[in-house]
Structure 1
Amino acid sequence: MAIPRRTLPALLASLAVSSRPALAQSQPAPFITIASSTSTEQSGVFGHILPAFTQFTDIAVHVVACGTGQALDMGRRGEVDVVFTHDRPSEERFVAEGFAAPCGRRPVMYNDFVLAGPITDPANIRGLHNPAEALRRIAAARAPFISRSDHSGTHTRELRLWQLAGLDASGDRGSWYRTIGQSMLQALNTAAAQQAYILTDRGTWIVFHKDCGLDVLVEGDRHLYNQYSVMVVNPVRFPQVKMKAGQAFVDWVTGPFGQAAIASHRFQGEQLFVPNASSPDA
């Protein structure tokens, strides 16, 4: 159900007096722990939507911001109630291994990845729509490239793009290929300081990019599509998982109020994520 943007503030304000789920009426001050990618925190989307969720349900949310790989591993150990990630192959493996609750993987929102780099563009990739060709040019020019190297969704996508380019992501590329093992925002700061190329999600880029000396140089290819999904951790494997509260979050964030809240999240007028919980192929 589409909700006009002009009605959203009044809609969210009314949630406090709306009918709340039975969970909120029967449990005092519950909370859930969500492991999620750093991009959801550093782009500000959680800061925008979670207060509305808590107002609606009385369920507080503790967020552990880490790479997608780390978030899924925390789910595999039963350390969190919900995982909110952006690497579909890894998520589908998580479901196949039996670590997700029966509701499985639910799409929430998407944006895209972009290749950013120095305004001077020494590898001459500006305007390309093929990220594999762009990476081949960066490698041929031995131009500085910053890799998160943290098993995040962004790092996993970067490795797939190197593979698509026909280059060995695990090989020694020399000093021009620089691994840092840090979050997206820290990686962008490093790329700006070193005037290096980098793969980044657009949400974090929009928040970061002003006066950084980098430009978006490659965008728009289907291989740069960036889907975010949510899963409750399987309470059969881990009885400590707060199944009802976790499912309440999944239902809210994929429902009309959560999707409207995501759509309304902007930074300096730019929309960071597009809600798509109703998409059957996401």
Structure 2
Amino acid sequence: MEYRRRAFLGAGATGLTAAIAGCLNSGSDGNEGSIAGAELALATTTSTYDTGLLDEINAEFQDRFGVQVAANAQGTGQAIESARNGNADVILVHARSQEDEFMRDGYGVNRRDLMFNDFVVVGPSDDPAGVGDTEQATAAFEAIASAQATFASRGDDSGTHTKEKVIWSEAGIEPSGEWYQETGSGMGNTLTVADESSAYTLADRGTFLSMQDNIDLEILLQGPIEGGPELLSNPYGIMAVNPEIHDNVNYQLAMAYIGFFTSPEGQELIANYTANDQQLFFPEALSEDPDFQQYVPEGWQPDSGGE
């Protein structure tokens, strides 16, 4: 479902900028009230929603600024498409290749590395394909395809689906047939489908841990957080929608949200968020050695000025 855009700001944009600046400097207990009632349209992935992290972050942000966050949880591809159509102010996603394209096309500005977790390959405890005997993601997928063991794919152009397609490609396999099932839905539902059909699937660690008590699947191949292959890394980025492309976006409030999420307070909320006594996401916005590349698409070089 697309957002219904708000027709507010207009001539008041300058005042809102000042109001947000005041809120940012007023302390966590000082809501100035001058932006109360504003609404931020956030397009994000299902993993941030399914794990409950968004509820935690948004409650703090809304309390501090006196605003509402309208979060639309979709696959990364759908979230980016919403933003391309001007139906979001800010996006929080996890597919850097798609983020880079969004930025190269001029739709996104002020991207920040936000946090990371990793992907894991999960499946039934009896592990008929022998995934638990593999050490690489490509080998795990090769084993599943060779055994024609049921695999539940999100099939929704999400960040997880994007990563899955990369692994199949690197394994030299184009999956098809009855054993390969596309759910066309989010991570939580895909894990439920995989559980009900004793299937394998690729999941982000956070969503799996948040659902672990309700399903009988097990992690059979770990990601890099637990010493697994780097191919299963899962970084998240956040960026504002370019107001020069869509003049109806709430750019000031989007930047306040990015500022809060990447602040020491926001990063601490990420670090402290757990399920089953395990940390789901790892903050990445603050560093003694900032990575300039996070702000620009991969391979970007400054204009030489015609020389």
- TM-score, normalised on structure 1? 0.89
Give 1:258 shift: 0.6
Distance between the aligned counterparts of 1:152 and 1:198, measured in 2?
14
Give 1:15 shift: 5.5
> Is the contact between residue 59 and residue 245 of structure 1 (CA under 8 Å) also seen in structure 2?
no
Aligned residues with identical type, % of pairs: 36
Give 1:153 shift: 0.4
Give 1:269 shift: 1.1
**Residue range with higher mean Cα deviation, 61-70 or 125-134:** 125-134
Q: Which residue of 1 aligns with 2:200?
A: 197
Distance between the aligned counterparts of 1:222 and 1:168, measured in 2?
22
Q: Which residue of 2 aligns with 1:126?
A: 132
Distance between the aligned counterparts of 1:251 and 1:129, measured in 2?
39
Distance between the aligned counterparts of 2:143 and 2:219, measured in 1?
16
Taking only aligned residues, the RMSD between alpha carbons, in angstroms, comes to 1.5
Q: Which of the residues 121, 129, 151 maps onto 1:115?
A: 121
Give 1:180 shift: 1.3
SS of corresponding position for 1:151: coil
SS of corresponding position for 1:162: helix
Give 1:155 shift: 0.5
Q: Which residue of 1 aligns with 2:112?
A: 106
The answer on 1:85 being equivalent to 2:93 is yes
Distance between the aligned counterparts of 1:57 and 1:225, measured in 2?
33
Q: How many residues align?
A: 260
SS of corresponding position for 2:166: helix
Q: Which residue of 2 aligns with 1:59?
A: 67
Give 1:25 shift: 4.6
> Is the contact between residue 15 and residue 55 of structure 1 (CA under 8 Å) also seen in structure 2?
no
Task: Tell me: higher relative CO, structure 1 or 2? Use CA pairs within 8 A at least 6 residues apart.
Answer: 1
**Residue range with higher mean Cα deviation, 203-212 or 80-89:** 203-212
Distance between the aligned counterparts of 1:261 and 1:127, measured in 2?
36
Q: Which residue of 1 aligns with 2:255?
A: 247
Distance between the aligned counterparts of 1:163 and 1:67, measured in 2?
20
Distance between the aligned counterparts of 1:32 and 1:229, measured in 2?
17
Pick closer, same or farther for the CA change 1:207–1:255 going to 2, 3 Å: same
Pick closer, same or farther for the CA change 1:166–1:32 going to 2, 3 Å: same
SS of corresponding position for 2:122: strand
SS of corresponding position for 2:134: coil
Distance between the aligned counterparts of 1:236 and 1:149, measured in 2?
33
1:207-246 Cα offsets, whole Å, 9 max, x none, are: 1122522110011210100011101101111111001101
Distance between the aligned counterparts of 2:171 and 2:59, measured in 1?
42
**Residue range with higher mean Cα deviation, 122-131 or 68-77:** 122-131
Q: Which residue of 2 aligns with 1:158?
A: 164
Unaligned runs of 5+ in 2: 1-25, 223-227, 295-307
Give 1:129 shift: 2.3
Give 1:16 shift: 4.1
Residue type of the alignment partner of 1:144? T
Distance between the aligned counterparts of 1:155 and 1:222, measured in 2?
17
> Is the contact between residue 113 and residue 237 of structure 2 (CA under 8 Å) also seen in structure 1?
yes
Return structure 1 stretches of 4+ with deviation > 6 angstroms: none
Q: Which residue of 1 aligns with 2:9?
A: none
Q: Which residue of 1 aligns with 2:143?
A: 137
Q: Which residue of 2 aligns with 1:175?
A: 178
